[in-house]
Amino acid sequence: MRSTTLLLLLCGALSSADAPPMANATDKANAADKVETADKAKDAAAQARIPEDEKWQFEPPIGRPDMFEDLERRYGLEMSIAGTATPETPLNAPNGGKAPSEKDAAEAAIAWGGKEIEAIQNYVLASKWDEAMSRCDSAIKTLSKFESHEAVRDLIERIKRFHAQADEAKAYQEAQAKFDALGLKIEGILWSPEGSLAVITGEPRARAINDRVKGCVIINIDTNRVDFLFVNDKNRRRYEFQRYVGEDGKSSARNP
């Protein structure tokens, strides 16, 4: 009887000794779950604090390269177009296929519009402004049949932005060409506490700020350059161009 009692006490002791590890494992699992839940809550809170403008899709302006732009793709496209392709059919400008008709579903129009945007981007990267705007006009006309769908409206708005950027870039290039044709060349800068003067080739005297030179107005004279305000007769828009000392229109065209 005594030995039986001792055996029962020993079994009870062993059972109580095994219990803490099970309890510890459960506590660790619960703690891990709490940490994971807290991390998810922190991530959700961080996402909620992100401003809406940071969630927008970035589209770098025409003529201002961005560090995130795919330069390798751009250079390959420009070299291929210059070497083999025609302006009407640039390399890697995918054909969107048959334009969707009013009988087609909106999904087909969305897929077609995405391919058209890719083609327009390739024209823009190759500085083919006329081709890009023509493709934009055609795509907008086709997609306008499905304007009742929000996704299609978003595509149309994006294509309109590409059209506006291409139009602006073309106008800027035309104005730059007209400004270069004036042949303005800065011979030197005469510094003065009352205001610096620019020595310009062909001018009878040094010019100051607000003086007119060949239809342009000098708006700034720096230590090594002169800033001009140029008005394009075609659209009456104003542009600011620079000329550095010793630089002429030809060197500016080679190094835009």
Same-domain check for residues 123 and 83:
yes
pLDDT for the residue numbered 87: 44
Mean pLDDT for 119-131 is 92
- Average pLDDT of the segment spanning 62-82: 61
Are 129 and 84 in contact by the 8 Å Cβ rule? The answer is: no
Same domain (yes/no): 150, 84: yes
Of 179, 199, 214, the residue that ends a domain is 179
Query: Does 122 reside within a domain?
Result: yes
What is the pLDDT confidence band of residue 117, given thresholds at 50, 70 and 90? very high
In this structure, the answer to whether residues 15 and 102 fall within a common structural domain is no
Higher local confidence (pLDDT), 92 or 206: 206
**22 or 42, which is more confident?**
42
pLDDT of residue 234: 78
Model confidence at 41: pLDDT above 80: no
- 58 part of a folded domain: no
Give the number of domains in the chain: 3
Query: What band does 138 get if pLDDT is binned at 50, 70 and 90?
Result: very high
Q: Which residue has the higher pLDDT, 47 or 191?
A: 191
Which pLDDT value is given to residue 90?
Answer: 42
Query: Would residue 61 count as lying in a domain?
Result: no
Res. 15 pLDDT band, cuts 50 70 90: low
Residue with tokens 């969630």: 55
Q: 168 and 190 share a domain? A: no
Q: Which domain holds residue 205?
A: 184-254
Q: Is the pLDDT of residue 36 over 80?
A: no
Q: 19-37 burial string, b = 16+ CB within 10 Å, else e?
A: eeeeeeeeeeeeeeeeeee
Residue 89, pLDDT score: 42
Same domain, 167 and 94: yes
In percent, how much of the chain has pLDDT > 90? 34
Q: Is residue 75 part of a domain?
A: yes
